[in-house]
């Protein structure tokens, strides 16, 4: 059974209620859900004698600790306020927290102060444990009163739970929860944040997130092989022989291949929180027919499906010709390498077999050419005054932006490439789109819109693709403009900017982390960025091509005769 056929089978079966028989010999135990609010952990009250300004800052740090119904934060409140305080789901994460005395419009009694809480917005942790970035200032006033014992306490906490980023990073841990891509051929990590202590509860936290399905921003972009009615039947726990046992309720009458999809999601999702082999069961019996314990190596094909080919060296556009990106830098075979097409930008399919080239048109402007590597690249019915570098989705689908406005998807219809427009009104909001890159798994798109990175999920709605939940990844520097972007991995992106101080930046795909690369050696501003299948970042500037293994690495000049202002790229 092919994966595409299997995908259709799974979609049909998952819509049918479970009807499989349940083993009579199972002896399930009661499930104890991981409830971080009721976890019993030691709680430290605020220090004696703390002043009102420090108390409010301390409260913002303490709010990140979820134990005992946010008891650490509650101890910063007056007894009356503490009894009625109900923090809403999720939290606002802020940075650079400061407190100053706030003026009052009316005279305040002795022992009462108003404190202005000021910070920089980082983003929100939503109820589904996913993160959404925000930017801008946060400012609110907090009333603080001296209690009978002489200690200052808050009497009107902020309406939302406000938490400092350093405290959040101490108390929460990022974990990838895996679902399937648009064609069920590979897995995609959906990044979530779980309470990091106690560590013994992490596997159950991950399984619980997996059972609820993809996060809100990716719900219509990812596929879930786990039927909606399936839940852990017993606690996720370590067995006497060292295996991690995950016992599910009945999954229904699914074939073995569909059950393997379920197993792949669970085992790959657990790998970030446990090194143990996984004993996957259904109502106390083995979920899979071979009954063996499972490891991530049993599912490498799902991870490898969306990885680049390390044997392909990459290409570069230089002087309107395509060159191989190696030490010899020979032109590629055919018209694309000879200069006949006057190539402006280009892209190679993930398997290396096809090329898409934006080439100058004799009538003016540019046109798109698509064909086999080394062969003729016939024109397709797409032209304009400008066109971004194409981005491949499989072997028979291309995306590009025409005239910095229209996102166009082209499908191979038996050798004829048919263009259709993607609705970009929500994605771009009328601003110029100067770069667009599809993730290697084909479920998300990243674009440079008005000098900022925007990431959105790709949703198939009755055959029409729609970009859902576009999210701006804040640069945190008001004068910095992003000029190019590329997917570094399925969890992060790398961008080039017009900033001399931060010419190259790495962003997590959800926008939580932002890490600058070294600026030494580069001639600012860089003109292009690419990422090799192994994760090496390649940047072009006026002097040549530079490469770095990661953000801590110094840039090294690549040893090839390709000069500056060239456009390097790798398959995809």
Closest CA to 40 of 64, 13, 65, 12: 65
Give 567: exposed, middle or buried? Use CB within 10 Å, 0-12, 13-18, 19+. buried
**CA distances to 317, 439, 509, 531, 557 from 497, in Å:** 20, 20, 17, 16, 19
Order the strands of the 285-286 sheet from edge to edge: 237-238, 244-248, 278-282, 285-286
Q: Which DSSP string do the residues of 462-479 spell out, in sequence order?
A: TTEEEEEEEEEE--S-TT
Strand ranges (E), 349-489: 354-360, 366-372, 379-384, 391-392, 397-402, 406-413, 416-422, 433-438, 444-449, 452-461, 464-473, 482-487
**3-state DSSP of 5-53:** HHHHHHHHHHCCCCCCCCCCCCCCCCCCCCCHHHCCCCCCCCCCCCCHH
pLDDT of residue 16: 38
* Six-digit token string for 150: 């002489």
The pTM assigned to this predicted structure is 0.89
Ordered strands of the 321-324 beta sheet: 321-324, 315-318, 567-569
Place of tokens 């399925």: 490
Rounded CA-CA distance 66/69 in Å is 6
Quote the tokens at residue 222.
Answer: 């990812």
**Cα-Cα-Cα-Cα dihedral sign, residues 472, 473, 479, 482:** negative
Distance CA 220, CA 302 (A): 20
Radius of gyration of the chain (CA): 27
Whether 171 contacts 230, CB under 8 Å: no
Strands 366-372, 379-384: pairing is antiparallel
- d(C-alpha 444, C-alpha 189), whole Å: 12
* 146-154 contacts at long range (C-beta below 8 A, 24 or more positions apart): 146/111, 146/112, 147/78, 151/46, 151/48, 151/49, 151/50, 152/50, 152/51, 152/52, 152/55, 152/113, 153/55, 153/76, 153/77, 153/78, 153/81, 154/55, 154/56, 154/59, 154/76, 154/77, 154/78, 154/81
Taken as a whole, the chain contains a residue count of: 572
Tens digit of pLDDT at every position of the chain (572 positions): 444 444 444 444 444 333 333 333 334 343 444 454 445 556 788 999 999 999 999 999 999 999 988 999 999 999 999 999 998 889 999 999 999 999 988 889 999 999 999 999 999 999 999 999 999 999 999 999 999 999 999 999 999 999 999 999 999 999 999 999 999 989 999 999 999 999 999 999 999 999 999 999 999 999 999 999 999 998 998 999 999 999 999 999 999 999 999 999 999 999 999 999 999 999 999 999 998 999 999 999 988 777 778 888 999 999 999 999 999 999 999 999 999 999 999 999 999 999 999 999 998 999 999 999 999 999 999 999 999 999 999 899 999 999 999 999 999 998 899 999 998 889 999 999 999 999 999 999 999 999 999 999 999 888 889 999 999 999 888 889 999 999 999 999 999 999 999 999 999 999 999 999 999 889 889 999 999 998 999 999 999 999 999 999 999 999 888 988 899 999 98
∠ Cα 53 55 59 (to 5°): 125
53/361 Cα distance (integer angstroms): 66
């Amino acid at each position: 059974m092919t994966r595409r056929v299997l995908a259709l089978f799974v979609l049909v079966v998952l819509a049918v209620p479970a009807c499989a028989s349940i083993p009579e010999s199972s002896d399930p135990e009661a499930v104890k859900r991981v409830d971080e609010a009721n976890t019993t952990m030691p709680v430290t009250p605020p220090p004696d004698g703390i002043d009102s300004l420090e108390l409010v800052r301390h409260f913002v740090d303490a709010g990140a600790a979820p134990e005992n119904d946010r008891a650490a934060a509650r101890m910063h409140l007056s007894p009356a306020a503490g009894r009625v305080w109900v923090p809403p789901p999720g939290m606002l994460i802020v940075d650079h927290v400061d407190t100053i005395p706030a003026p009052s419009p009316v005279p305040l009694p002795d022992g009462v102060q108003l404190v202005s809480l000021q910070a920089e917005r980082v983003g929100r942790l939503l109820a589904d444990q996913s993160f959404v970035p925000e930017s801008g200032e946060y400012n609110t006033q907090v009333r603080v009163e001296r209690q009978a014992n002489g200690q200052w306490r808050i009497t009107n906490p902020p309406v939302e739970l406000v938490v400092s980023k350093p405290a959040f990073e101490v108390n929460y841990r990022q974990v990838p929860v895996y679902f399937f891509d648009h064609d069920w051929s590979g897995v995609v990590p959906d990044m979530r944040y779980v309470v990091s202590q106690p560590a013994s509860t992490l596997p159950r936290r991950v399984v619980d997130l997996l059972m609820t399905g993809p996060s809100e921003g990716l719900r219509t972009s990812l596929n879930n092989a786990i039927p909606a009615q399936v839940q852990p039947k017993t606690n996720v726990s370590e067995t006497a022989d060292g295996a991690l046992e995950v016992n599910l309720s009945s999954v229904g009458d699914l074939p073995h291949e569909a059950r393997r999809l379920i197993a792949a999601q669970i085992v790959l999702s657990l790998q970030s929180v446990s090194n143990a082999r996984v004993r996957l069961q259904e109502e106390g019996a083995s979920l899979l027919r071979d009954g063996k314990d499972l490891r991530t190596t049993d599912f490498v094909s799902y991870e490898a499906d969306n990885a680049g080919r390390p044997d392909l060296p990459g290409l570069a556009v230089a002087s309107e010709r395509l060159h191989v990106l190696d030490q010899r830098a020979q032109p590629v075979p055919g018209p694309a390498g000879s200069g006949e097409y006057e190539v402006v930008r280009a892209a190679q399919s993930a398997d290396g077999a096809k090329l898409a080239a934006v080439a100058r048109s004799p009538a003016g402007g540019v046109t798109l050419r698509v064909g086999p590597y080394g062969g003729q690249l016939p024109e397709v019915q797409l032209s304009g005054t400008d066109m971004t570098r194409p981005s491949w989705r499989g072997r028979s689908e291309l995306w590009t932006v025409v005239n910095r406005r229209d996102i166009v998807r082209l499908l191979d219809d038996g050798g004829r490439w048919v263009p259709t427009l993607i609705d970009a009104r929500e994605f771009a909001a009328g601003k110029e789109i100067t770069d667009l890159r599809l993730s290697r798994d084909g479920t998300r798109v990243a674009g440079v819109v008005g000098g900022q990175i925007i990431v959105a999920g790709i949703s198939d709605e009755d055959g029409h693709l729609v970009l859902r939940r576009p999210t701006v990844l804040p640069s945190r520097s008001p004068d910095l403009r992003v000029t190019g972007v590329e997917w570094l991995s399925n969890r992060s992106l790398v961008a080039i900017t017009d900033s001399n101080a931060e010419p190259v930046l790495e962003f997590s795909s959800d926008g939580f982390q932002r890490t600058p690369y070294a600026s030494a050696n580069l001639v600012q501003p860089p003109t292009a960025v690419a990422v090799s299948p192994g994760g090496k970042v390649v940047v072009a500037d006026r002097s040549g091509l530079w490469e770095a293994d990661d953000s801590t690495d110094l840039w090294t000049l690549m040893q090839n005769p390709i000069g500056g202002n060239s456009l390097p790229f790798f398959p995809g």
